[in-house]
Amino acid sequence: MSANTGFAQSGETGLKDAYKDYFSIGVAVNMRNISNPEQIAIIKKDFNSITAENDMKPQPTEPAYGQFNWENADKIANFCRSNGIKLRGHCLMWHAQIGEWMYKDEKGDLVSKEKLFQNMKHHITAIVERYKDVIYAWDVVNEAISDGGWQGGRRGMGEHPSPYRNSPLYQIAGDEFIKKAFIYAREADPNVLLFYNDYNAADPGKRDRIYNMVKSMKEEGVPIDGIGMQGHYNVYGPSMEDVDAALTKYSTIVKHIHITELDIRANQEMGGQLNFSRDGGNISQGQKQLLCIARVMLCLPPMLILDEATSSIDTRTEVRIQKAFARMMQGRTSFIVAHRLSTIREADVILVMKDGHIVEQGNHDQLLAQGGFYAKLYNSQFEGVQT
């Protein structure tokens, strides 16, 4: 999640409090977020974990060897210290936003493996030790697994199908750079949780590549504590089945799984770069309804009124929403206004209105047995459909 301008209403239950019995709720921040009073109020109300959006990545913190720039990272760390909020470090090694000094020499050629490891240890030790009092978890290596297909191999090895991204770090040292990053991070802080973080982590093919890498490395003794599943999702995917399958599989090899970088879009785009400049009016009525439903689910209200809330949503998605609502509303009260009777089949009590008057009431089975107005409406909508 990311913090955007808005007002924190006093007296409302914050997200972190609503989900306190289940998991922490995190937010990515930048300098604007921790200097704007309105956004500070949102952060303090809703979140109990903070991640620096960009200010702790390799390039911003050490643009050249030994030339550290701690200003923004320190401000975020101090904000967390002052407000008693946990800090999640992101990230130590990544193929992007990393100074070329890490893997190239003065001539622009790739350095030796030994020199790469020396540079990595220098940077990782410096930043991990600096913030070890406030950071509880680090994304140690970010996005090192390929999206599939053919990847160029290491120097001298030719072309071969590889599960790894063909980054300069991989070209120099193969998957050993991943192992070393975790080892150096553990040496710098024996108590911090260490994560491998990647996008499309619920995609079955990439899920298996991530799983195989982490499993193999842990068997070698590499200190990987958890997997970060980047949540660059949209209203069309990934499916709940794929997410659940990934969570289930990863949980067999690590004790900690974090949903990181969460954003859910109302179109078919996925990825780390959000485009807020687009006209929000371009989304469909069904997409607007999905966004409203997502907001409701985050709030966990004690009472919920839904007025034709899924009228523009396809039937398959509507069924999935109904199942989610059934779980969410246990012990809560909900009122549903609908013409599409599939929406209210599971209601405890159904009030049937005609010409502004209540003409029948009961649950679904009772109303069907009566053979009255509800039964006629139901049969007209589901004639020929097997239930």
Q: List the catalytic residues.
A: 143, 261
Asked whether the bond before 238 is cis by omega within 30 degrees of 0, the reply is yes
**Contact present, 353 and 337 (Cβ < 8 Å):** no
HSE of 117, CA atoms in CB hemisphere, 13 A = 14
Secondary structure E strands in 4-117: 26-29, 49-52, 86-94
**Contact present, 119 and 135 (Cβ < 8 Å):** no
Query: What 3-state DSSP class applies to 182?
Result: helix
In angstroms, the Cα distances linking 133 to 136, 137, 147, 185 are 8, 11, 36, 14
The Cα 130–Cα 211 span in angstroms is: 31
Q: Please, which residues have CB within 8 angstroms of residue 252's CB and are 6 or more apart in sequence?
A: none
In angstroms, the Cα distances linking 159 to 109, 155, 165 are 20, 10, 13
